[in-house]
Amino acid sequence: MPGVSQYSWNTTNVQGFSQIEVNGQKQVDTTEGLGAFKDLLELGLLKPYTKNLDIGGGEFDDGTRYLADHFIENAVYDPYMRPVYQNEQVLAEVESSPVDTVTSNSVLNVIDNLEARKEHILLAYSVLNPGGQALFKVWAGNETGQGSYTDGCFQSNQPAENYMGEVAEIFGLDNVELLADHKLVIAKK
């Protein structure tokens, strides 16, 4: 569990590519599952021969295999979907050997309070090499801006730009960039 309490995630994760419907058309969701990694690879933000920590990466290892196919070494930390021993092992590893990138795919939008999001963003900052980048993908849900609780999770229904300020508080205003079309906040350490 994270140190700061939040509404728990308690639902199965996506495997492979996740799909969304936009104006009646099915599209790959670029904010979670393999679609998020594909988009980040195509943007050149995830690069071969680097190391990534996927925070809130979920229960499955298909993302790690997908990144390995692109010569990226990936580890997953997820306080709800991975066993404690595995999370502790991963955090110990990145503490002694920081990473080039952090991915946080559709995680900020499931954390229902500011303090817990701050803890999440701080973790991303702390495990990065100087010059490394944290890549925060945000699923805007129904885009109403009204948070919703179900018995499996919270969804903020807010777009990526609404998290810019929180990320900038930790990474510094000059180090944060929004790619709205990609539902992405990029933060440089």
Q: State the residues that interact with ligand SAM by CB under 6 A.
A: 2, 6, 9, 13-14, 32-33, 36, 55-58, 78-81, 105-107, 110-111, 116, 120
Of 61 and 177, the one with the shorter C-beta distance to ligand SAM is 61
Of 153 and 173, the one with the shorter C-beta distance to ligand SAM is 153
**188 has which bridge partners?**
133
Residues with Cβ within 8 Å of residue 24, at least 6 apart in sequence: none
Phi (first) and psi of residue 106, to 5 degrees: 60, 45
In the complex, the smallest distance separating the C-beta of residue 105 from ligand SAM, rounded to whole angstroms, is 4
In this structure, the strands spanning 19-22 and 25-28 are antiparallel
Query: With contact defined as beta carbons under 8 Å apart, do 17 and 34 qualify?
Result: yes
In this structure, the strands spanning 184-188 and 128-137 are antiparallel
- Closest residue to ligand SAM, judged by C-beta, is 56
In the complex, the smallest distance separating the C-beta of residue 176 from ligand SAM, rounded to whole angstroms, is 19
In the complex, the smallest distance separating the C-beta of residue 45 from ligand SAM, rounded to whole angstroms, is 15
In the complex, the smallest distance separating the C-beta of residue 153 from ligand SAM, rounded to whole angstroms, is 7
Distance of CA 167 to the CA centre of its chain: 12
Of 105 and 156, the one with the shorter C-beta distance to ligand SAM is 105
